[in-house]
Structure 1
Amino acid sequence: MFPTAIESERLSYEPLHESIDALDLYEYHRTGEMDEVMRPLGDKPHATPKETFDELTKSREAWDSSERASYAIRQKSDDEFVGVSELWFEWEKRKLSFGTWIREPFWGRGYSAERAGAMLYVALELLDLELVSVGHEPENEQSKRAIEKYVDTYGGQYDGIMRNALPPGDFGGPRDLLTYTISQEQWRESVTDDELNTIQVSR
């Protein structure tokens, strides 16, 4: 169902469950690097390798059932692991929601926007969905800035705040969610040929 290899200008994307070992992924949690990454998502870093292994298992099962696609993001220049991009599908609504987390050493490089462009192509062109939704918690200013930038780039819009939209996380809840959407029509009117020429996909 999903592409197994995607490339954008500086990044590549492969199925998370196939492209990284549980112990390697757990290492980022164990060193404390993930503390600042996970907190805005309402979660704590994994406490054991088994927790990381279980998450990768869930990613594989969701991929196989076409419910969710999780991609490992890497730099094309050196194959360094950057983070994770996830797509959650609502096929009956012809809609998906997506999100990402990026390792702190790679913040501020525009990778979130580049990843959004590649995933919008997959969702709205290859999979012919009608709508992509993205959101952030009210206090997450970093995500707010990143999302607003690429939503504006692709002609999308801010839709509003959904109260108690997110289940309780490790730091309490339920939690509110500010939501934005980009339609297929808005994306087609806004995306440039130059950007499309940087995206390559294989199955």
Structure 2
Amino acid sequence: MALPRDYPGQSCSLSRAMEVIGERWTLLIVRDAFLGVRRFGDFAAHLGIPRAVLTDRLAGLTGAGVLARVPGDGRREVYVLTDKGVRLWPAVRALSLWGEEHRPAPGGPRRVFLHADDDAPVAVDGRCTGCHAAVEVADLLVAPGPGLPPPSADDDPVTAALHRPRRLLQPLPLTKGSPV
């Protein structure tokens, strides 16, 4: 039996937020959108999520205004974070930091965040450790961390792209042979 999507009897803002982003897979889809994933097939391949579940979660995120479907490369629409979706970055980052502290990956974090202006690490408070500026999400570079396994021929296009530093919110380059 599927669990309901709402929280009857709960009227706080956290319960309302959880109705949008609280289902299994949803925050990972949002995370991947920050990493530049745009295409349905790339979400499916990178997450290993059943296509029916991905369809449902993408519909929920677009219906809530977190993602928008926009024209892509001429063949298909792609998904992009809306302003509302981008405002989820502090929550996504906070949960990632919590995971690094309380459920660390062997070898350290798989990804680190740097300020695009000076390549200095970004501290927990979102400030650049080099210039001390508050770093907006569009000015963040995601780079391989010490816990990222070496590249493999079996890597999906998203995993392969994340072996190189790249700005958040920038679309991943389309890869020939990437799933549709």
Taking structure 1 as the reference length, the TM-score comes to: 0.28
Which is richer in strand? 1
Taking structure 2 as the reference length, the TM-score comes to: 0.31
